[in-house]
Amino acid sequence: MKRRAVVFFFCLVALRAGALFAQKPSAANLPEPVLQVGPGFVTSIALSPDGRLLLIGSDADTTAIWEVATGRRLRILAGHTEAISSVAFSPDGKLALTGSGDKSAAVWDVVTGRRLRTLEGHTNEVASVVFSPDGKFALTGAYDATTVIWDVATGRQLRVLKGHRDTVTSIAFGPDGKFVITGSNDKTAAVWDVATGRRIRTLEGHTHNVNSVAFSPDGKLALTGSSDHTAAVWDVEAGRRLRALKGHTSSVNSVAFSPDGKLGLTGSWDETVGVWDVVTGRRLRILEGHTEEISSVAFSPDGSIVFTGSWDNTVGVWDIVTSRRLRTLEGHTSNVALVGFSRDGKLVLTGSEDQTVTLWDVATGRRLRILEGLTESISSVAFSHEGQLAFIGSWDNSAAVWDLISGRKLRTFEPPEGHVVNSAAFSPDGRLVLTSSIDGKSIVWDAATCRRLHTLDGHTNWVWAVAVSPDGKVALTGSEDNTAAVWDIATGQLLHTLRGHAEGVTSVAFSPDGKLALTGSKDKTAAVWDISTGRRMYTLEGHTEWVDPVAISPDGEMVLTISEDDTATVWDVATGRQLRNLDGFIHNARGVTFSPSGKLAVMPSAEGLAAYDIATGALLYRQTFTNAGILTTTPEGLFDGPSEASEAICYRVGGGLNVVPVDRFYQDFSYAGLYDAVHRGERPKPDVELGAAAPPTLQILERPDEDEVADQRVTIGVVVTDQGGGVSGPWLRHNGARIATSGAKRVDGNRLTQSFDVSLVAGINRLSIEAASGDGSWEAEPALIELRYTKSLDKPDLYLIAVGAAVYAEPSLRLQLPDDDASAMASLFESRGRTLYESVEVTSLLNDQATKQAILNGIDAVAKQAKPQDTLAVYLAGHGFAVGQRYYFLPCNMKLESQEFEDDVRRQGLPSDRLADAIGATPCLKRMLIYDTCNSGAAIRRSGKRDRNPLAFAGAVRRLSRGQGVFTITAAAADEEAAEIASLGHGALTYALLAGMRAVEGGPLEGRYVQTNNQDRVADVLEWFSFASGNLHRVVGAGQTAVVDNSGTPFPVLPVGE
């Protein structure tokens, strides 16, 4: 039987955190996206006194604050310029202390993330930091062999402890604050009197560096870890080593005492953590699972949980009794850096740590292509004017042109030695590429042959930036030699040198007519120049740091300058006058472009893109990059993007540490097609204020005593407490599927008690009890239970509702292939399903049978006979149409009866939410929906009522998937028409799905199929849908994509091949 004690620890922490963090924000505090990236290369960890928060220091010069119960990253403490070596919480948990390789330490406000004080005075890297027990003093140890005591309130240095002969690697205060212990690379530890600064004892015996030290809770013992592969327990008063803790096979980096002082904890370079009996010196257990060195260890306040930080970019959370890893803090995404974007801003390239480059569609947030084959990080990127090609230069002195449609490397350039490309530009016709380098030269290349045509040699220092004029005849280069230069591209001749900047020129641009040049400089100014004469027309002054980058609007009337002072300024080209600053400018912009209309400015930053209204300076949206997709958010909280991306991003609501997954605001703030709406000139707003209605809290009251159960029917009881925002729910999800359950409900004041009767399936049963605020705008932190049903059940059945509407009552709606597609899908399930399912029951509704009521009746029939372990698949092929944010399948008896086509759709169509309710009423926990629909009929075209927002379709289906726990795949075309391909005999999506199961002969996907992760070659639903989505471009090119929305646990569908 499995123990459950630890589960209660996390539940209690979660409830406490919810009570503390669920504060109603003021209207002035707009939501801020918080990306849930992993902790990175972990150098140090520290647990808050109440056990709720974890400080994680990394080699990326930042410290992150994480919430233990939810595993969410709450805040980043940024300001150091080198790696973080050590972190600590103050005794009251309100302050954080960080030490860095930049020779300083810093004191931070935990809630606001504001740096309160910088502790400077060491002459070398700070290696270790700690607070005194009363929180009044900070202690820092450094590579300069000293330890310094600081006054936290003033940041003043009080005393320096000298005596070690090498780096002070670790420090700790005794429990009464009177004594300090230090560890050093001189192979010793030392005990010091805080009041006098005198060393009173030296602990000698290790044969190598002492890397970590700790006091026992009563102050009588010390624990040290050393590079000699051992730890040691010492009598502090006598200075005598009591016992050596041996067993590690490499350096011991970190040590800690349990709160009761009975256990010692050691983390080692051998990738393990040891738990030791301090009295006997016996190793009680080993915590294994990290894949790199252990850098830091810590106990929870009650001693039941162990936290381990590792160089494998994770923090482990462990049960001290069972040695079981309970959780891994690793974020929902890895760091993704934007490296380039197309001229129209619709495509972006991002680079990741594995040297792959990904092409993204900015409007949908979805990955289009992965470019593989680079061996180094990217130094420069240039898109061709039409956006089909990209030039990519790397720091290994390589460069190539890539086809973005196919993801194939077309040509490889061979730059001369030392010509690492740091900037590049295509000529407007795509025939030439211009590159610059730190070697002071620029090169004009033939893009087709990769032949070097001219070397533009004339600068005397690095060349930072290049641009090609709109007519392709002139090149512009900016250099560290304080000049820009104008060149004849055809001959390579220098035409003008633009002199006047006092420092390096870091950014250059042409006006749309090619008559003006714009330069940005380290001298904190930008300048507008006459290309024909080389004369400076205006100097744009006002920034207080470097100006880089710069851009000119498509109409040539405005200039935008970005500065290291974190401002973005709009200027009038004709007069050189400053017009306005852009509000809320994001730090560390890496480029800028105007939208084709010239009304928006789009800027990339460290985590994505931000777009501003040029006329007002207002921030319109942000786009945050994850390795799962791009999430678009507005300042008011509206969001759109792939469901996986919304899981990787939270909103900070009302400031402080109130960080909530974006998905919790789905009902009122998910807005399909948000990017396109803003670029059409719309300014959509939510109907409610984000965070205005606080969600309730949930607590489990009743559940089985053990995690492993033998009774299939169980009762789960929950209490829902209103926090002032009202209560909607509760409801229950079983393995991701929302199910209808029976059970008693009781209301007592602001507390609602509900019980759920649940039928378990064999194996793992993940139960999630959920609720929301009264208006549904903010979903609560769910109460989670995981049970394992130990008995086997009957073999599952599979139910398929296959709908194909090709022939409509309205002749102009006729299609060619939906009935054949539905028949092909039915044949696939019938022929392949016998090996997995007890029975395969197919309901085929073709042409005149495909009525709205027949579809609902078919699903209702399944609801009356199916069991929880069964699978339900619904396949719909025919016409579909979105009205507002609601999507309708058009049944075969659809007629044009009204003046407005949309009225006919509302009255006669099957809305996706009605379909969702029907699917949700079935007991099947395994649910999938395939929408191969379009709105391409002549009647729809004649009506003039094409979808105003074609992505509303995807939004409606996503709500269905999320609401009921249905895996969905939908055909979504850029031109709003899903493709029917007569030569293949199928719609494009259906063909891709059949090909994934090796159920087609011929066509572009012949020989391609789902690669399964099991010996039985059974594809699960996510593998199948992902194959179709990922290969659809091979069938129809770039004109159509498929969108996959997954909710719940993937399940097996069918074997691949006969």
Q: Can you tell me whether residue 871 is helix, strand or coil?
A: strand
d(CA 800, CA 199): 79
Reported as a single tens digit per residue, the pLDDT across 299-354 is 999 999 999 999 998 999 999 999 999 988 887 655 666 667 787 778 888 876 66
- State the pLDDT at residue 667: 87
Would the pLDDT of 625 be above 90?
Answer: no
Q: If you ran DSSP here, which 8-state letter would residue 914 be given?
A: H
Would the pLDDT of 23 be above 60?
Answer: no
- Structural domain total, the chain: 4
The 10 Å Cβ neighbour count of residue 503 is 14
78 with 105, same domain: the answer is yes
684 with 703, same domain: the answer is no
702 with 683, same domain: the answer is no
780 with 822, same domain: the answer is no
- State the pLDDT at residue 953: 66
Would the pLDDT of 934 be above 80?
Answer: no
H or E segment to which residue 191 belongs: strand 188-193
784 with 924, same domain: the answer is no
Q: Is 455 part of a structural domain of the chain?
A: no
Reported as a single tens digit per residue, the pLDDT across 741-767 is 777 888 999 999 999 999 999 999 999
d(CA 377, CA 353): 8
Domain boundary among 639, 669, 689: 689
Question: CATH number of the domain that 82 lies in?
Answer: 2.130.10.10
- State the pLDDT at residue 158: 96
Average pLDDT of the segment spanning 418-436:
93
Q: Distance from CA of residue 15 to its chain's centroid?
A: 25
776 with 809, same domain: the answer is no
The 10 Å Cβ neighbour count of residue 423 is 24
d(CA 585, CA 1047): 35
Q: Is 535 part of a structural domain of the chain?
A: no
The domain containing residue 987 runs over which residues? 797-1055
- State the pLDDT at residue 334: 58
Would the pLDDT of 26 be above 50?
Answer: no
- State the pLDDT at residue 15: 30
Closest CA to 410 of 428, 430, 395, 425: 430
d(CA 644, CA 332): 9
8 A C-beta contact, residue 695 and residue 730: no
Contacts of 1014 (CB under 8 A, 6+ apart): none
Q: Is 523 part of a structural domain of the chain?
A: no
Which segment of 107-121, 490-504, 638-652 scores lowest on mean pLDDT?
A: 638-652
Q: Is 168 part of a structural domain of the chain?
A: yes
Average pLDDT of the segment spanning 695-707:
95
Q: Distance from CA of residue 202 to its chain's centroid?
A: 49
680 with 735, same domain: the answer is no
Output the average pLDDT for the chain.
89
Would the pLDDT of 648 be above 90?
Answer: no
Question: CATH number of the domain that 718 lies in?
Answer: 2.60.40.10
8 A C-beta contact, residue 521 and residue 503: yes
684 with 702, same domain: the answer is no
The model's confidence at residue 28, banded by pLDDT at 50, 70 and 90, is very low
Average pLDDT of the segment spanning 81-95:
96
57 with 205, same domain: the answer is yes
Q: Is 429 part of a structural domain of the chain?
A: no
Instruction: Extract the runs of DSSP E, i.e. beta strands, from 493-557.
Output: 494-498, 505-510, 516-521, 526-530, 536-540, 547-552
Positive/negative CA dihedral, 802, 803, 804, 807: positive
Closest CA to 711 of 745, 743, 757: 757
Q: Is 704 part of a structural domain of the chain?
A: yes
Would the pLDDT of 632 be above 60?
Answer: yes
H or E segment to which residue 53 belongs: strand 53-58
Reported as a single tens digit per residue, the pLDDT across 952-990 is 666 777 777 888 889 999 886 434 445 567 788 898 999
8 A C-beta contact, residue 735 and residue 783: no
Domain boundary among 769, 789, 809: 789
56 with 187, same domain: the answer is yes
Question: CATH number of the domain that 982 lies in?
Answer: 3.40.50.1460
728 with 816, same domain: the answer is no
250 with 105, same domain: the answer is yes
Q: Is 252 part of a structural domain of the chain?
A: yes
- Of the chain, the percentage scoring pLDDT greater than 70 comes to 92
Q: Is 414 part of a structural domain of the chain?
A: no
Domain boundary among 291, 306, 327: 327
Reported as a single tens digit per residue, the pLDDT across 391-401 is 988 888 888 99
Chain length of the chain = 1058
